[in-house]
Amino acid sequence: QVQLVESGGGLVQAGGSLRLSCAASGSIFSIKTMGWYRQAPENQRELVATITTGGEIDYADSVKGRFTISRDNAKNTVYLQMNSLKPEDTAVYYCNTLYKTSWYSADFRSWGQGTQVTVSS
At 51-73, the pLDDT tens digits run 999 999 999 999 999 999 999 99
What DSSP line would sit under the chain, residue for residue? Answer: -EEEEEE--EEEETT--EEEEEEEEES-SEEEEEEEEEE-TTS--EEEEEEETT--EEE-GGGTTTEEEEEEGGGTEEEEEE-S--GGG-EEEEEEEEEESSTTPPPEEEE---EEEEEE-
C-alpha 6, offset from chain centre: 8
**1: pLDDT strictly greater than 90:** no
Closest C-alpha among 73, 79, 94 to residue 31: 73
**14: pLDDT strictly greater than 90:** yes
pLDDT tens figures, 15-53: 999 999 999 999 899 999 999 999 999 899 999 999 999
Average pLDDT, the chain: 96
Q: What is the pLDDT of residue 6?
A: 95
**107: pLDDT strictly greater than 90:** yes
Distance CA 64, CA 44 (A): 20
Q: What is the pLDDT of residue 120?
A: 97
Q: What is the pLDDT of residue 112?
A: 96
Mean of the pLDDT values across residues 95-109?
95
